[in-house]
Amino acid sequence: MNAKVKYRVGKSKFVQGLIFFFAFLITIPLILIIIYIFREGITKINWAFLTQIPKPVGEAGGGIVNALIGSILIVLTASVIAIPVGILCGIYLSENKTGRLAYWARLSVDVLQGVPSIVIGIVVYFWVVKPIGTFSALSGSVALAIMMLPILIRSTEETLKMIPFSLKEAGLALGLPYHKVILKVIVPCGISGILSGIMLSIARIAGETAPLLFTAFGNPYLNTNLARPMQSLPLMIFNYATSPYDEWHDMAWGAALILLFTVLLLNIITKLTTRRWNVQL
């Protein structure tokens, strides 16, 4: 082997090493974050932490039950609003590949996907909070529902596009009306893709904070009334983490652990049910 070839092979090996190094370096921050949050958070979690509302600063104890229940309620309400609309819109887009309305609707979904979450928070403030006159959990749910829509629509559309056309033809040939073909044949065939879209979108909004700042607003007490301000886990972590009190930091670590593991678990379950790699853009 002459020197020139050796140099080229060496260079190739060097670049390969560099690429491997940089590629795997990215695992370090994730592992560090998970370990750190686990270590700080696990000692704070106990029965009282999960079942009590926060105590005022200076008093020991207290829990995050208001944030837990608030998060669940807000995310559930958002899902109830977004899932039917998202699936219907996905069906519409997969059924209408051409056409002016479909073009503009598809473009709108693309635009919506790129809108920063804080901007959605501002707009929902003017759409829901201002007319009602108070911050409310419902407005937070509306904001989160708007964020869920693009993910739901995209995954439904992509899934239904892959269903063979012959299935639809067979249904129509048997004399089934259009809506039954879609709802009883096409959608059940793609149900796993649609479900994974639902789970991904829930995982995505469960940790959203920015759109809740001016909508759900937060609440130090337990509240289950959707028309009133409500606490949620991400909001609570934000407020407590930026506070100067150590005991509040401790509570935020506990809450962060619960939130992080819920979100990661949702993602992993989705991954196990569908084996395709797709970071939602």
Which residues ranging from 22 to 41 are in contact with other proteins (CB under 8 A)? 22-27, 29-30, 32-33, 36-37
Among 73, 136, 208, 247, binds other proteins (CB under 8 A): 208
Could you tell me if 73 and 137 are in contact, meaning their C-beta atoms sit under 8 angstroms apart? yes
Among 63, 190, 234, 254, binds other proteins (CB under 8 A): 234
Residue type at position 162: M
Residue type at position 1: M
User: What is d(CA 81, CA 147) in angstroms, rounded to the nearest whole number?
Assistant: 11
User: What is d(CA 264, CA 251) in angstroms, rounded to the nearest whole number?
Assistant: 20
Among 58, 60, 179, 244, binds other proteins (CB under 8 A): 179
By CB under 8 A, the count of residues binding other proteins is: 92
User: What is d(CA 265, CA 187) in angstroms, rounded to the nearest whole number?
Assistant: 26
Half-sphere exposure of residue 64: CA atoms within 13 angstroms, side-chain side: 31
Q: How far apart are the first and last CA of the chain?
A: 47
Among 72, 92, 161, 226, binds other proteins (CB under 8 A): 92
CA angle 151, 154, 157 (to 5 degrees): 145
198 binds other proteins (CB under 8 A): no
Site string for other proteins, 256-275 (x = CB under 8 A): x--xx--xx--x---x----
88 binds other proteins (CB under 8 A): yes
Could you tell me if 52 and 119 are in contact, meaning their C-beta atoms sit under 8 angstroms apart? no
238: CB partners within 8 A, 6+ apart? 209, 213
- Which one of 56-64, 72-80, 104-112, 158-166 is the stretch in contact with other proteins (CB under 8 A)? 104-112
Among 73, 78, 83, 153, binds other proteins (CB under 8 A): 153
Smaller CB separation from other proteins, 47 or 100: 100
105 binds other proteins (CB under 8 A): yes
134 binds other proteins (CB under 8 A): no
Among 141, 209, 219, 223, binds other proteins (CB under 8 A): 209
